Structures are given as structure tokens and as C-alpha cells.
Amino acid sequence: MSFSKRATAVALVTMALSTQLLAQSGPRAARRDFAADRLIAPPTDAWPTNGGNLYNQRYSSLNQINASNVAELKGVWRARLRGSGVAPKYSGEGQPVVHDGVAYISTGANDVFALSLDTGEILWQYEANLSADLPSVCCGWNNRGVALSEDKVFMGRLDAKIVALDRKTGVPVWTIQAERIEENFSITPAPVYFDGLVITGFAGADRGTRGRVKAYDARDGKLVWTFYVIPGPGEPGHETWPQDNDSWKHGGGAVWQTPAIDPELGLVYFSTGNAGPDYNGAVRAGDNLYTVSIVAVELKTGKYRWHFQQVHHDIWDYDSANPVVLMDLNVAGRARKAIVEVGKTGWAYILDRETGEPIVGIDEQPVAQEPLQATAATQPFPRGDAVVPHRIEIAPEGYRLVNEGRIFTPFAGEDPTIVKPGIWGGASWPPSSYDPVKQHLFVCASSVPGGFKGDIDPNFKPPVQGGRFGMGQTQQARVTRSGIMAAMDMTTNKVVWRYRWPEQCYSGTLATGGDLVFVGRNDGRLTALDSRTGKQLWEFQTGAGMHAPMSTFVHAGKQYVLAYSSGNALIGSPRGDSVWLFGLDGTLPPAEPGVPVNRLAAAIPAAPPAATAAAAAAAAPAAAPSQPAADPQNGKRVYEQTCVICHGEDGLGGHGGGAPLNNVPNAAAVAAVVAEGRNNMPALSTLLTPVDIRDVAAYVAESLAKGGAAE
């Protein structure tokens, strides 16, 4: 692929900016900055890895900005990323990485920007130019950040490519096709760089892939090793899959987040996603290793070392999307090398990272059974406190409450079963942070029940390209969603403090030695909490949904906080393209709040009132004799770019909890809801053109409602 097509490194920068980059510290100093002892320590003068350090702690000991003065924090500068990633389908989830006076940030469009810390000016830009028709995108167009080496910037792309950019210019040094998009692979996490290796996981479990983690030579992109999340014949763990079908070949186990590394032990750690097919356990009897597990492999070889499975035979999409965190605990006077991950189950799993054995006890307990789903007889229950509730006190309207809606309640058939938590968790991808002094983990989670149903087919069928690999369905229950922000004591797994928010908590967190935790809000506010109590001490309106994790560092002798404010498609928060630098010497006031772009579509009624239908028919171009007929192909394009994230490829429901579309009466009814909004779905007439509304309505009515796309 030509340079102009695969990427555009916008090298039309001024000589002054180029000189700034060329003045970076020399090779010897750069190598020192990426040595093991520097990369496992809490960062101070940089933010060199996605997680702040190789342990993924997202903590800095800096305390110039602290609980006593954070109320004085203001914007130093605000940079705009040239409109990258602001369309409704994009999500801004990239952690800013900082080194040598330059910040590196990726957008939902998979573009990368290098910014001057002094001024916020764009030093260079890499444009991914992703195809709008990617078949492999599962859960939104996003990217969770980049990795830095001494001389390169590494990014995994949604088209399953890995690109290495020159740190000074943004020009690609090498690009590899790490996996085939035709086989439904994509890359959403930031890779991790250490000791000459670039290591990343792959998404695609919801489309029938076999999960994997790969390591590449940072010099040229050559493959060094591969670890398959789903073990093959003859490998330990293969016996947990059926021996009479090929379900293991498509068994899932996506890796959604950046791995952690312990250089002393020589181990790489990551957690894995749900088993496939999603919501259908009938075709994959067994525990389905190593899905929904914490896994340790050898850094140099990728050889399996140990695992701990958090959910056996997952049928609820309880994937472990939150990044693992390494920590050195003092438990009852004994030093322990630990690892923790908070899953969609809402529990923290605290293990010995040398052996994989629990440090705080985890008990196997019997759970409710459903023979049609071949459910596991027991599930792991960590001792201590759950971050989120695990039962429903009162049945929501339209649901029959089974087993009090408790976690691990199974389902089958067309009558929906409500379970808490649902697919929103618990903790999803937004990273937790860990204060090694307090030994507290700070978790941003959601308390959202989910409805599950499905006509369970016991016959295995392989996935199709670009299609959802699942037999059941999930749906949004008519219950108010809420967020949970909590601090957990890692020595006891007990809640230190916990607060319920009136909206989902969907932001990465940052902890500091100034007794602070920074966390974003969906409406665009960045907030600072007292890490000792959870009390809010400061807030600042950034103008767009604040979801990406923040970074902090000292620059020119002063501590700053860097935040990327861009919004999120799944949450429906306001979109933007801002990067803010905050400091005690800042003078910029807050921005104006943005306009939400809600993706949580409510059910389309069986038939609209006659007046509404008539008005929609009169307003819709497709119904006007003088206008051209609807174009379902354009409607399909609009649907795949804007609607599929909530409603799914087949219209039966996606990760955003959108309502099934198989019973809509006609295109006029669909056009009315899309244009005017209803219940939780706002009017989209300001985001889509009248032609796009006409065409997407026709596509839904003619293809999805009639089963044209569901095979």
C-alpha cells in the first residue's frame, strides 16, 4: 500500500517545531528512560506507558497538585485535533502518553497526534484513513492509545494492522497486517513496549475469532511469539472444549486491554473476554479455557505459565475488559507480589502474580442451572465486597424476576431473564488506578441490569464474515442506569468508600500522591476526588464526554494533568476533539457543555399513532412522490456506521443495549423515531441528513424487519 493511502504523516510543520523534536535527549538517555527500573516505578517527569508504568497502576507520586489546592486548577491550553474522531460512531478512549516534552494521543479514527507540551501545537499527525466498510469492528470505532519506544510510536488499528511511526516525524517506519480483517480480527488496546518487544492482544471474540496475544520485534515488526487464548488439541485446557465440534476454533477470548509486565519475573499478564458463540453455551459444553480469565505467559517466549478463570462457561458476556494491575502488597506483615482485575462481574480478583493463587480467598459456589445452556455447576465468588450490587430487589416492568436476578442466573427461550449485572458490568474497559501507598484500587463501574433471551441451538455453526457470533440476545431493561465510583482495600477486598452516580461511570481514573483521584463524567466534566474519602473537590467542563484516562507529569518544574475529551458512542456523550493541559498556573475557563449524542435507542412501537405516522410519511422524502426512492444500500452504510453499535448487525441488539428491530411496522415509523426521537433516544435529525434518515429507515424496514440481514 502506498504511503499516501496507508497513512499521511503531516510533515508540513514549521522548522521551529521540527527543531524542538530533534532536540530530544540522545540515544543513551532515551535507553535509560525505557529501562526496567524506570518503567516499573510510578512516573514523574513523563507518562511513558499506557498504564503509566509496566504495572498498569495509573498512579504518580507527584503532589504539587493536591487535595488542598486542586480547586485552583485551570486550563493552561486547549488543543483541537482537527476534527478527528468526532462523528457519532467514534469513541475517544486513548490514554495520552508523554515523553521528552511531547504528548502522543490516538483518536477513535485511529489517527495519532504529537503535541508540544509547551504550547499544545500539533507537531505531526498520522492519518489511518480506515475504510468505512470495515467488517471487523465490534463495539465502536475506538483506539485506547499508543506505546512508545526510544525512537518509535506503536499503534494497533481497527483493521488489524500494527504501525510503527518515527517519533520525530510521524512517518511510518514499518506496517504489518497482524491478522486478517476478513477473519473478523481488530485491535483496540494500546500495545505495550518493553525490551525490544511490542506486545498486543486482538479483539473479535464477538465475531467468532480465536483470541490471541502476539509479540513482535520492535525494529521491523517480525513476529516473535503467539499465545492462543483458546488452547488447541494436545494443549492444556483443550479438554474444556467439546471434542465433537470445532467450537474451539472460534471460541472467543478477546484481549481488550494493554497487558502488564513484571520484568523481574519475566512474565506478561492480561485478562480475556467472553467465550463464543456469545450467549449460547449449548454448543461449547465445558469451562471454555482460557476465556474470562487472568493469564500469565513468559515474556520472551509467550509460553503459558498460569491462569485463573473468573467465570466458567460464560454465557452472559462477562468479559474481563478492565486492565490488570500489578502491585506489591503488605498483607498482615507479609510482602506479596499481587495482581488484580475487576471484571464485568463487579468483583475484584486479587491473586499472587507468581502462582495465580488467590491472596484474598475466592470460593467455588453452586449456582442456578439451565441444562439447555450446559451451565457450569459452580462459579468463583471472591471474598470481601463486590463493587456493584448482584441482585434485583423489584422486578422491572415487563420482566419476571427469576432467582432475584442474581449474578449467574441462566437463561433460555424467548421470555427475557433479567440479571444483575448485565453486559455493562461491573467494570468495563475504563481503566482502574492503584495507590501503592494506601494500597487502594479506584474503580469506575456501572450498576446496570441486563435482559437475556434466546432460542438456544445445540448445533454448532461457524461464524460468517462481519457477522455477530451469538445465538441469544441481550436487551436494555427499563431500569435507570447508575454508576459506582469506589475505592477498594486490596489487602482485604473490602470497600473503603463508594458512591452511586445518577449516570453510568465510564471513565478511566488517575491516582496521585496528592491524595487525589481524577475521573471523568459523561457530560464532559473532569473531576478530582479526595482519594481518602471520595468527596469531590474540583470539576471542569471540557466540552465533550470525558472518558479517556488522564495522565500527569512534571514539565518545566511544574505538575500538570493532561486529558483527552472526545465523547463515546456507546454512552452517547457529547463529541469533541479537545486535549486539555491543566495546571495551577492555568488561566483558561471551562468550555461550554456539549450536546449529547445518545446511542441508547428505545424500542420502536409496534405502530405509531395515525397522526404521527401520517406526519412522518409526509415529512420523509421516501414518501414524497416528487423525491427519489430510498436507497437501501446507503441506508445499510448509515446503519453500519451509526446504529449497529447498539442494535447489532442483524438488528437484534448490540453492545449498546438497543432494542430489537425485527418487528418495526414500516419505514415511516422508523423515520419518525430516528428524526424525532422517543424515550431514551433523542432526535437525530441534527446528525443525519434527511436522505440518510430516509435510507436507513428503508434499510431497517426492508432488510432487518423482514429478516433480510439475519441468517
CB 288 within 8 A of CB 275: yes
Residues near 391 by beta carbon (within 8 Å), at least 6 away in sequence:
404, 405, 406, 407, 420
Q: Tell me how far CA of residue 549 lies from CA of 85, 158, 462, in angstroms.
A: 17, 20, 37
Measuring CA to CA, which residue among 547, 549, 534 is closest to residue 576?
A: 547
Residues near 563 by beta carbon (within 8 Å), at least 6 away in sequence:
96, 518, 520, 526, 542, 546, 548, 550, 579, 580, 582
What is the CB-side half-sphere exposure of residue 444 using CA atoms within 13 A? 27
d(CA 173, CA 675) in angstroms, rounded, equals 46
pLDDT at 141 over 80: yes
Task: Give the 3-state secondary structure of residue 566.
Answer: coil
Residues near 633 by beta carbon (within 8 Å), at least 6 away in sequence:
none
d(CA 296, CA 274) in angstroms, rounded, equals 18
Q: Which residue has the higher pLDDT, 433 or 424?
A: 433
The angle that helices 667-676 and 610-619 make with each other, rounded to 10 degrees, is: 80
Q: Which residue has the higher pLDDT, 597 or 283?
A: 283
CB 594 within 8 A of CB 576: yes
Q: How many CB atoms lie within 10 A of CB 706?
A: 12
pLDDT of residue 19: 38
* Strands annotated E in 29-107: 59-60, 74-80, 97-99, 102-106
CB 262 within 8 A of CB 306: no
Split at pLDDT 50, 70, 90, the class of 269 is: very high
Task: Give the 3-state secondary structure of residue 181.
Answer: helix
Q: Tell me how far CA of residue 394 lies from CA of 150, 414, 418, 424, 642, in angstroms.
A: 56, 21, 11, 19, 34
d(CA 473, CA 464) in angstroms, rounded, equals 17
Q: Which residue has the higher pLDDT, 637 or 607?
A: 637
Dihedral (C-alpha) 686, 688, 689, 694: value to the nearest 10 degrees? Answer: -120
H or E segment to which residue 382 belongs: strand 378-382
Cell reading at 31:
535507553
pLDDT tens by residue, 220-239: 999 999 999 999 999 999 99
pLDDT of residue 601: 32
Split at pLDDT 50, 70, 90, the class of 608 is: very low
d(CA 359, CA 353) in angstroms, rounded, equals 9
Average pLDDT over every residue of 145-174: 98
Q: Tell me how far CA of residue 2 lies from CA of 7, 98, 162, 399, 533, in angstroms.
A: 8, 30, 16, 55, 54
d(CA 256, CA 144) in angstroms, rounded, equals 9
pLDDT of residue 685: 55
d(CA 355, CA 361) in angstroms, rounded, equals 14
pLDDT of residue 674: 79
Question: Do strands 192-194 and 172-177 pair parallel, antiparallel, or not at all (unpaired)?
Answer: unpaired
Look at 132-141, 296-305, 367-376, 534-543 and tell me which has the smallest mean pLDDT: 132-141
Question: Do strands 509-512 and 59-60 pair parallel, antiparallel, or not at all (unpaired)?
Answer: parallel
CB 232 within 8 A of CB 318: no
d(CA 195, CA 216) in angstroms, rounded, equals 11
Cell reading at 152:
518509535
d(CA 67, CA 698) in angstroms, rounded, equals 55
d(CA 142, CA 144) in angstroms, rounded, equals 7
Average pLDDT over every residue of 17-22: 41
Q: Tell me how far CA of residue 26 lies from CA of 45, 173, 217, 646, in angstroms.
A: 16, 19, 22, 48
Split at pLDDT 50, 70, 90, the class of 27 is: low
Split at pLDDT 50, 70, 90, the class of 687 is: low
Question: Do strands 8-9 and 494-501 pair parallel, antiparallel, or not at all (unpaired)?
Answer: unpaired
pLDDT tens by residue, 46-92: 999 999 999 999 999 999 999 999 999 999 999 999 999 999 899 99
Q: Tell me how far CA of residue 61 lies from CA of 119, 158, 486, 515, in angstroms.
A: 25, 34, 20, 10
pLDDT at 613 over 50: no
Q: How many CB atoms lie within 10 A of CB 26?
A: 7
Domain boundaries 610-704, CATH class: mainly alpha
Q: In the 3-class helix/strand/coil scheme, how is 184-232 assigned residue by residue?
A: CCECCCCCEEECCEEEEECECHHHCCECEEEEEECCCCCEEEEEECCCC
Residue 340, beta-bridge partner list: 325, 350
> pTM value?
0.86
CB 292 within 8 A of CB 22: no
Look at 4-18, 129-143, 382-396 and tell me which has the smallest mean pLDDT: 4-18
Residue owning grid cell 438488528: 651
Split at pLDDT 50, 70, 90, the class of 296 is: very high
Residues near 106 by beta carbon (within 8 Å), at least 6 away in sequence:
94, 112, 113, 143, 144, 145, 146, 155, 190
Look at 197-201, 270-274, 570-574 and tell me which has the smallest mean pLDDT: 570-574
Residue 435, beta-bridge partner list: 440
d(CA 61, CA 43) in angstroms, rounded, equals 8
pLDDT of residue 249: 95
Q: Tell me how far CA of residue 627 lies from CA of 605, 617, 674, in angstroms.
A: 27, 12, 19
Q: Can you give the residue ranges of every domain in the chain?
A: 610-704
Split at pLDDT 50, 70, 90, the class of 656 is: low
pLDDT of residue 598: 52
pLDDT of residue 11: 37
Q: Which amino acid is at 195?
A: D
What percentage of the chain exceeds 70 in pLDDT? Answer: 86
Q: Tell me how far CA of residue 649 lies from CA of 137, 389, 707, in angstroms.
A: 11, 31, 11
pLDDT tens by residue, 469-512: 877 788 877 788 899 999 999 999 999 999 999 999 999 999 99
pLDDT at 374 over 80: yes
Task: Give the 3-state secondary structure of residue 99.
Answer: strand
Highest mean pLDDT of the ranges 370-379, 591-600, 650-659 = 370-379
Q: Which residue has the higher pLDDT, 25 or 481?
A: 481
User: What is the chain's percent helix, strand, coil content, to nearest 5?
Assistant: 15, 30, 55
pLDDT of residue 7: 39
The mean pLDDT of the chain is 88
Judged on CB neighbours under 10 Å (0-12, 13-18, 19+), 397 is exposed
Measuring CA to CA, which residue among 671, 700, 666 is closest to residue 688?
A: 671
Task: Give the 3-state secondary structure of residue 455.
Answer: coil
